[in-house]
Amino acid sequence: MPPRRQPTARQERLGAELRKMREAAGITGRDAAGLLGTNNIQVSQMEAGRAGVSEDRVRRMAAHYACDDADYIDALVAMATDRTKGWWEEYRGVLPSGFLDLSEMEHHATYRRDVALIHVPGLLQTEEYARAVFSYRHPPLPESELEPRVAHRMRRKTFIEEASSRKYAAVTHESALRIRVGDRAAARRQLIQLLELSAEDQVSLRVIPFDRDDFGGAGWAMGYMGTPVPQLDTVTRDTPYGTHFLDAESQLQRSRVLFHRMEGESLTLTQSRDFIHQIAKEL
């Protein structure tokens, strides 16, 4: 089978984990090829996510690399053998690959955490709010690119709508609630949707008000997708040029700490709902 031309972010992550496991064992790519009965090029392609890896080969690698973390190995096997073709495949060739990568990772995540301080978190946005966000760029996107972006963002809500066992937690700021992305009526509809979604058992939404003292984190935002194996969690950072995926252990740990710090500086769940309701009444 020829190498993949454009591996997904999840396939690249599997390859990166295999490389980290090999390097932690102090084994060169050439030596790994000899242990697996293949060649150095094949090992390089597997570690770049450009070549598939069978369950047997993943387990042989783990044995040769002296990795005895059974849960971690099973998670890598699940990544290697997954053949899911999810709803996001409808957008392949229509949207940049980063949109599809994000959806695939969310599909396999067991929980998601967001810190969004200027905009309402993407998974909680109304359609008209999302359209206003995607429209605010120069030069403007043509309709053939704008509408698929909006539709894709709405489809991503399946994370919180169709799997009650998955938990979604978000921290936002009063600024995101008061900035009118759209007109007054659209802003009110967005706040009402926040109240409706935050009433779901699997959704936790907290707000940091303007009058909170000693809050220096206004410039920090992120998404965090968790898995049953913490080593395979992923942090996402949005930029004007797309989504970046971060997975170094130091980045994961820092993001966990910062999210809990943000939660600690926010209102309680009940106070947050009351706060949102009050702002909606003012519109």
- The CATH number linked to 265 is 3.30.870
Residues 172 and 277 in one domain: yes
d(CA 234, CA 51): 22
Residue 163 pLDDT: 63
Check pLDDT > 90 for residue 219.
Answer: no
Q: Which domain holds residue 204?
A: 87-282
What is the residue-averaged pLDDT of the chain? Answer: 94
Alpha-carbon radius of gyration of the chain: 21
Phi-psi region of 66 (alpha: psi -120 to 50; beta: other; left: phi over 0): left
Residues 232 and 150 in one domain: yes
Last residue of a domain, one of 28, 50, 81: 81
Residues 132 and 191 in one domain: yes
d(CA 91, CA 97): 9
Q: Mean pLDDT across the stretch 154-181?
A: 92
Check pLDDT > 70 for residue 68.
Answer: yes
The 10s digit of each residue's pLDDT in 84-114 is: 899 999 999 999 999 999 999 999 999 999 9
d(CA 111, CA 78): 17
Q: Does any domain span residue 1?
A: no
Last residue of a domain, one of 41, 64, 81: 81
Q: Mean pLDDT across the stretch 253-264?
A: 95
Last residue of a domain, one of 33, 57, 81: 81
Residue 123 pLDDT: 97
> pTM for the complete prediction?
0.93
In whole angstroms, how far apart are CA 13 and each of 107, 150, 233? 15, 27, 10
Check pLDDT > 70 for residue 220.
Answer: yes
Residue 1 pLDDT: 61
Residue with token string 């009940």:
270
Number of structural domains (the chain) is: 2
What tokens appear for 16 in the block?
């990166």
Residues 17 and 91 in one domain: no
What tokens appear for 18 in the block?
């295999």
d(CA 69, CA 184): 54
What tokens appear for 279 in the block?
């702002």
Residues 225 and 120 in one domain: yes
Residue 79 pLDDT: 96
The 10s digit of each residue's pLDDT in 14-64 is: 999 999 999 999 999 999 999 999 999 999 999 999 999 999 999 999 999
The 10s digit of each residue's pLDDT in 136-164 is: 988 999 999 999 999 999 999 999 987 66
In whole angstroms, how far apart are CA 189 and each of 160, 186, 192, 203? 19, 5, 5, 18
Check pLDDT > 70 for residue 9.
Answer: yes
172 DSSP assignment: E
**SS3 category, 221:** coil
In sequence order, the β-bridge partners of residue 237 are: 244
